[in-house]
Structure formats: C-alpha cells, structure tokens
Structure 1
Amino acid sequence: MDLGLAGSAALVTGGNRGIGRATATALAREGARVVLLGRDTATLAAAAAEIGAAGHVAADTTDDAAVVAAVDEAARLLGGLDVLVNCAAPRATRAAAPGLAGLDDADFLRNVDTKALGYLRVARAAAPYLRRQGGAIVNISGMNARSTGNIAGSVRNIAVVALSKNLADELGPAGISVSCVHPGLTVTERTDGDPEYAAVASTNALGRPITAAEVADVVTFLASPRGRAANGAVITVDGGRPGPVWA
C-alpha cells in the first residue's frame, strides 16, 4: 500500500531513541523528509545520520521558547510541516511507583510538564504550519493510561488521551487529524537482548514482545493520508491485554 508520505515533511520529537527513533526511521523509509527533535545533540546527530534524516533540532519540551524556535527551524529545514509525532517523554518505570504516601510531587510535575504539556507546546508551535495544507499529529501515550499502580504514569498518559481528542476536535476542520497511540511494554534498542524484559513483555495475548518497529508501523499509517480518517482515535499497540473489553 502506498501511504502517500513521499516528499512529506515530518517532525518527530524524542526521535533520537526508542519508539521515536523507530518512527522516524519508518517515516523516512516511506519517503518522508524527517527532522528529529530532542535534548541531546550528540545522539540526535547520530540518529539523524543513520536514518538519513533531513536534520535535527534541539529543545527541552518544558521550555516553550526553545520549542517554538526548534519547530520554526524544523519547518525552515523542511519547507513546512505535514506530520508531527510527539514522543518526547521521561522513560516509563517498569516497577510500580509508590502510592499516595510516597508520591514525589516534583517527579509528578516533571512527568506532566514534559509529556502532556510538552506535547501541547510542540503542537501549538506546529499548528500554524500544519494548517497551511492539513496533515497529522500522532501522540504517543502508553498503557499506563488504562491501569493503576503508578500515579504519575497513569495521569501523564491519560492526559495525552484528553489533549489528543481536544486537538482532534479543534484542528480537524483545518484538515489536521490527531490520534493517540498506546504502546505497552516495547522492545527498543535499550531493552533488546534483555531476557527478563522479554519475558514480561510476552505476557500479552500474542505471547511475544512487541517491538518499537511494530509500533512505528502503526504510527506511520496514522500519520499518513491513508490513516487520517482515524481522527480522534486511541489505538493500543501492546499485543492485546488479556481480559479487559475496551468499548
């Protein structure tokens, strides 16, 4: 299937590692021109070179001025923007975080500021470019949005669901589709070859770990003209969690 991404301009935040890097790779393979956004210029440069990206820009997504400058520079490098994938966030913790009594206020606020508000900052800066001819925003959330046991993890991810639907309603009339993807435990370059992680990640209904490349394939489809009818959708990419029925 031709996804219609050839020549399109895509910005991927968190594109120097994990699902963000896998998504940037998948978009580039479909012919998109990609710019990576992150904080670490060394790993950004290395990832951009390996992927064949059009460039990279540095910004901490908790800094609005830095985000605006980085998005403007990405749009300059690409000649506009058609696709935004938001993936820059603190790493999810595998172990259950402390409950109410052990809640770390600073950590909670850092998670929300970086992931939820950070996504909004980037989307706000990118929206004027996307409005010119329509496009897509895909926000990477996570299955902690649908489970308890980690207050910061649940709140930051369910916030991404809420902001995605708000943006879908607001930007849809301008031809901009906004969707949200929930990965589960995902094998990335950081966890590849870790048998303990693989065993836990295999407890889905498929009975095997899901890779970052598989998540990236779904994200790439949603970002493409072929997938934009899924405006406002929340898609799980975790191999299927046994038991719950999601209506």
Structure 2
Amino acid sequence: MDLGLKGLKAVVTGGTKGIGRAIVETLAREGADVAFCARDAAGVASAEARVAALGVRCFGAALDIADAPALKAWVGEAAAALGGIDIVVANVSALSIGADEDSWRKGFEVDMMGCVRLVEAAMPSLATSAAASIVTISSVSGREVDFAAGPYGAFKAALIHYTQGLAFQLAGKGIRANSVSPGNTYFEGGVWNQIKDGNPDLYRTALALNPTGRMGTPQEMANAAVFLASPAASFVTGTNLVVDGALTRGVQL
C-alpha cells in the first residue's frame, strides 16, 4: 500500500532510540522529510546520518522537551528547514513510575506538556497543510492499572483524552489526531532490556502475561503510528490504536 507520505514533512520528538527511531526511519523510507530531536547530541548526529542516507531531508536537534522555549524554537526551525510541517508525532516520555513529587513533575512536563507544547507550536504549519496529522504515543498503561500506575500511567491516559479532544476540535479544519498505545516493547538499551537484566522476575512475569509469548518490537509500533500519520488513514481520527499482542484484556468501546 502506498501511504501517500512522499514529500510530506514530519516532526518527531525522541527520534533516536526505540519506537521514536523506528518512526523516524519508517517515515523517511516512505519518502517523508523528517525533523526529530533527542537530548543526546551524539545520538542525534548519528541518526541524522542514517536518515539522510535514505534520500530525504532531515533536521536533527539536541534539546530537552521540558524546556518550553527550546521546544518552541526547534519546531519553528524544523518548519523552516523542511518547508512546513504536515505531521506531528509526540513520542517522548520521562518514563516516570516513581510515587514521589519529582516523578509526577517530570511526567507532567515531559509526557503531557511536551506534547501540548509541541502541538501548539506546530499548529500554524498544520493549519496550512492539506494532509495535517497529529499522532501521540500513549501506552497500554494508560488503559489499565499495571506496575506503571502513578505518573506514567496517569499521563499516558491523559494523552489519549487530550488527543481525542483535538480530533473533535480540529476535524472541521482538516487536521486529524490519533494516539497509539504500545504494549511492552523490547529493544537493546530499552526499558525492558534493562528490566530483563536488573529485575528478571518482573521481566518473566510481564512476558508471561502476553498470550503471544513475546514483547513487541519498535518497528511494529512504528508501523501503526506511521499509518495513522499518513494520508492512507484520511478518515481515521479520534482513535486510540492499541498495539499489544492481546496483552490487555479490557474491551475498548
């Protein structure tokens, strides 16, 4: 299927590792120009080289999403570098699962406000796009109570609500908004890789909960996000796409 992404312009937060990296590279392979950011400058430079080798324009930047002025400035620079913005993918998470106030503060500033500020900064560009789309990366932890209950789960649930609100508010302007809720996703250097090494009992418990007998891959999550971002999903808006290998048991109505 041709997703219709060739020549479109996308911005992705957290684009150098895991799901974010897979999203950036999948967009680029489909012909979209991509801007992305992450905190590690060396990781950004390496990712820029990989994406540029795919034959599209790319614009990487090292920044902290919690820095509101820096995020706003980067979105403006990305729009200038790419010649506009058609697609916004809010992917960054603070991965805050602690019960302390600092964890709640980090989750709010990065997961929640990082998304809100990204969308608001990109809105002038999205408003002029003929294929405008917003995709937020939530989590199955936003649908049910699990070991990540607390700031992580709460803000992931809030992202789903926020995104569906955007879909309703922006439908008349031709701007779509959807969320993806990944299940447990394994990749080298990722959270579940760290848990496997540091807390093998938790890893085995989590693995046993999935009837497929495995965790998902970043590419499987990226496939869902890129489809929702693309013109191929032109009548899909206000949905939360769960990609979890039947991990969650609740019926999504």
TM-score (norm 1): 0.90
Aligned to 1:59: 63
Q: Distance in 1 between matches of 2:76 and 2:60?
A: 12
Shift of 1:91: 2.9
Return the letter of the residue paired with 1:20: G
Aligned to 2:134: 137
Comparing 158-167 with 191-200, greater Cα deviation is found at 191-200
Equivalent residues of 1:89, 1:114 under 8 A apart: yes
Aligned to 2:232: 226
Shift of 1:242: 5.3
Aligned to 1:159: 158
Return the letter of the residue paired with 1:169: F
- 1:214 and 2:210 correspond: no
* Residues 1:89 and 1:70: Cα distance change in structure 2 (over 3 Å): same
Comparing 58-67 with 129-138, greater Cα deviation is found at 58-67
* Residues 1:222 and 1:8: Cα distance change in structure 2 (over 3 Å): same
TM-score (norm 2): 0.88
Equivalent residues of 1:18, 1:212 under 8 A apart: yes
Q: Distance in 1 between matches of 2:204 and 2:215?
A: 6
Q: Distance in 1 between matches of 2:248 and 2:118?
A: 34
Return the letter of the residue paired with 1:106: D
Aligned to 1:5: 5
Aligned to 1:123: 119
Percent identity over the alignment? 35
Shift of 1:113: 1.4
Q: 2:89 aligns with which of 51, 60, 85?
A: 85
Q: Distance in 1 between matches of 2:166 and 2:83?
A: 23
Where 1:244 maps in the other structure, the secondary structure is coil
Return the letter of the residue paired with 2:216: I
CA RMSD of aligned residues (A): 2.0
Q: What are structure 1's unaligned runs of at least 5 residues? A: 98-102
Shift of 1:202: 5.8
Return the letter of the residue paired with 2:7: G
Q: What are structure 2's unaligned runs of at least 5 residues? A: none
